[in-house]
Amino acid sequence: MTLPLPRPVFDANAASGGFGSLPEWDLSDLYAAPDAPEVARDMEWLKTACADFAADYEGKLATLDADALLACILRYEEIDIVAGRLMSYAGLRYYQNTMDSERAKFMADKQDKVTDFTTPLVFFSLEFNRLEESHLDGLLAANADLARYKPVFDRMRAMRPYQLSDELEKFLHDQSVVGAAAWNRLFDETMAGLTFELPGEEEPLNLEATLNLLTDPDRAKREAAARALAAVFDKHIKLFSRVHNTLAKEKEVHDRWRKMPTPQTGRHLANHVEPEVVEALRNAVVAAYPKLSHRYYRLKAKWMGLDRLQVWDRNAPLPLDAPKVVGWDEARDTVMGAYAAFAPKMAEIAQPFFDKGWIDAGVKPGKAPGAFAHPTVSTVHPYVMLNYLGKPRDVMTLAHELGHGVHQVLAAGQGELLSSTPLTLAETASVFGEMLTFRRLLDAAQTKAERKTLLAGKVEDMINTVVRQIAFYDFECKLHAARAEGELTPDDINALWMSIQAESLGDAFDFMEGYETFWAYIPHFVHSPFYVYAYAFGDGLVNALYAVYAEGTPGFQEKYFDMLSAGGSKHHKELLAPFGLDASDPTFWDKGLSMIAGFIDELEAMED
């Protein structure tokens, strides 16, 4: 059980205050306390249940009839729920304060035990994948309740060509806690402990606070923040290079043993998406760089009265922006109003997040950066983490993460194994929630300047979500290809990073000395290789989906809730078919990119 990654940090937050009463998590729906008797009880149950499962089923799956196989799947699902509940609790507590050694130890100890206890289960997917296709088809035809799990089986059996021997798979399972998981933790704790000295600040700032200054109206503060980031990243660049070298090499070794054709194959399989669909997305976005990011940033340079933009101007507020602090109550009402206007049901599902301690919004020492929504397990409910600073973009972050939460609540009805949505579709409800909120604000704009500000902010968010993430994907592809040829020095990785920056951002930019190290703080490269294209996939999909909604398609809301409720029980082709959309159509992505281009057209027209 792993925690989700924060969404891309475009507008990081500093310290809370003056935003009203910010909610905090109440984790008691998982466990009352770390030393609650239920924690020990569930750990003991998990140990016994895993051993019993292996004793009852290892070497026997091929002999089970349909009813017996269904009973086996239900037992496996129950184990998944208990393990997920334990690790969700441990992980969420840790993310509240990653610098608290007790919380770190609690999570590490639980991770060690859960890994040990679940090692006997490794046989299950391996043995299941050895079942003959005709035999499995017969079992599914004999029991409708078992057939419901076919999407789970299909995803599992997609790994058939790449699985190793039972003994090797068990070894890799056991070894994971001192492999990738250990390097991930080193990265997280290093990042959480970084401090940055800036002029005018009484105390050193953490990463979140320093990144936040890149959106400050004062250009001198933005420059100081960018240079402080570069100085500290450079100081630790050997460590970050070692983390990336090690993880990329470990992945290469695993992929080679599994005979994976490309470093990206595992991600595509996990996402249940065809490589050619991802390639079509990537190619469409790269081809659109000139009409999207290149064109927008030239406009922004003009608005700012600059011949050239520096990297610290990329997310700067526009000169016509009036600095605005949005209180928590206003943020909540804005998002909930947008949700309710789309469908009352959507607001009803979202309401408990505010009322029952399902959101942790304030910025606190040691708290993990960014934002996420974690589904925990299908028998409890999701939790949303924010770092709320009262900026307009923070309202969009709330809309985004709350969209995830609504999606996770609806998908939970599928049960533990079928509720998990592939990353490519997991961003659908979150980005759609952002779009609903944006459109509501845009419709309420009173002046041309207000409309321009909103449009520019949305375009920047879309560029960050689509253009930047595909550029990140290209960087990862280059990084893993280069590492396969040998050890990479920090300068090697820096050069790979810079090779994609000018291409994606365009000719309006100059790049300060030190910017070449900014790959170092992106958590997705460390935690989940090639994850980043899911953001672009989700944004493009939602843009096309929203166009269908805007056309007044009858029954759209009902179809939309059906799609979210499906969780991981259907392929993206099945989910999009009711809307007349098909992500495998090469022209599909152009629809979404055209929406961004249309916003830039409107901004250009405002110049006349």
Candidates 386, 399, 387, 393; CA nearest to 434 is 399
Res. 120: pLDDT tops 60: yes
* 321 pLDDT tier (thresholds 50, 70, 90): low
Q: Does domain 34-158 have CATH number 1.20.140.70?
A: yes
Give the full edge-to-edge strand order of the sheet including 372-374. Answer: 359-360, 383-385, 372-374
* pLDDT value for 15: 40
Which tokens hold the place of 65? 């009839």
CB under 8 Å, gap of 24 or more: what pairs does 155-161 form?
Answer: 155/269, 155/270, 155/272, 155/568, 156/125, 156/128, 156/129, 157/128, 157/129, 158/269, 158/272, 159/125, 159/129, 159/269, 160/129, 161/259
Q: Are 400 and 375 in contact (CB under 8 A)?
A: no
Which region among 87-91, 134-138, 424-428 has the lowest average model confidence (pLDDT)?
424-428
* pLDDT value for 322: 66
* pLDDT value for 365: 86
Q: Average pLDDT, stretch 284-310? A: 96
Strand, helix or coil at 120?
helix
Q: Which residues contact 202 (CB under 8 A, 6 or more apart)?
A: none
Q: Average pLDDT, stretch 147-176? A: 88
Which tokens hold the place of 272? 């249940």
Res. 2: pLDDT tops 80: no
b/e 107-130 (16+ beta carbons within 10 angstroms → b): bbebbeebbebbbbbbbbbbbbbe
* pLDDT value for 406: 98
Q: Are 434 and 396 in contact (CB under 8 A)?
A: yes
Q: How far apart are CA 346 and CA 5, in angstroms?
A: 24
Q: Which residues contact 25 (CB under 8 A, 6 or more apart)?
A: 92, 96, 357, 358, 359, 360, 383, 385
β-pair type (372-374, 383-385): antiparallel
Q: How far apart are CA 33 and CA 113, in angstroms?
A: 18
203-234, pLDDT tens digit by residue?
A: 999 998 899 899 999 999 999 999 999 999 99
Between 81 and 273, the higher pLDDT residue: 81
Element (H, E) at 418: helix 416-419
* 169 pLDDT tier (thresholds 50, 70, 90): confident
Q: Are 157 and 129 in contact (CB under 8 A)?
A: yes
From the CB of residue 302, how many other CB atoms can be counted at a distance below 10 Å? 12
553-567, pLDDT tens digit by residue?
A: 999 999 999 999 999
Candidates 178, 187, 111; CA nearest to 368 is 187
522-549, pLDDT tens digit by residue?
A: 999 999 899 899 889 988 889 889 989 9
Q: How far apart are CA 472 and CA 510, in angstroms?
A: 19
Q: Are 530 and 267 in contact (CB under 8 A)?
A: yes
As a whole-number percent, the residues of the chain with pLDDT over 90 amount to: 74
Q: How far apart are CA 494 and CA 499, in angstroms?
A: 9
327-374, pLDDT tens digit by residue?
A: 999 999 999 999 999 999 999 999 999 999 999 999 888 898 889 999
* pLDDT value for 434: 93
From the CB of residue 71, how many other CB atoms can be counted at a distance below 10 Å? 14
Mean pLDDT of the chain: 92
Which tokens hold the place of 94? 């840790």
Q: Are 524 and 532 in contact (CB under 8 A)?
A: yes
* pLDDT value for 12: 35
Strand, helix or coil at 309?
strand
Which tokens hold the place of 19? 């935003």
- Which residue is it, tokens 């660049």? 237
Helix-, strand-, coil-residue percentages of the chain, each rounded to 5 = 70, 0, 30
Q: Tell me the sheet residues that pair with 309.
A: 509
Q: Average pLDDT, stretch 156-183? A: 86
Q: How far apart are CA 67 and CA 588, in angstroms?
A: 42
Q: How far apart are CA 37 and CA 335, in angstroms?
A: 39
38-52, pLDDT tens digit by residue?
A: 999 999 999 999 999
Q: Average pLDDT, stretch 489-515? A: 96
Q: Average pLDDT, stretch 71-96? A: 97
Range list of H helices, 7-165: 37-57, 66-96, 101-118, 122-129, 133-142, 144-147, 150-157
As a whole-number percent, the residues of the chain with pLDDT over 70 amount to: 96
232-263, pLDDT tens digit by residue?
A: 999 999 999 999 999 999 999 999 999 999 99
Each domain of the chain, given as residue ranges in start order, spans 34-158, 182-322+463-527
- Which residue is it, tokens 């989940």? 528
- Which residue is it, tokens 């020990």? 40
Q: How far apart are CA 570 and CA 573, in angstroms?
A: 8
State the pTM of this model: 0.82
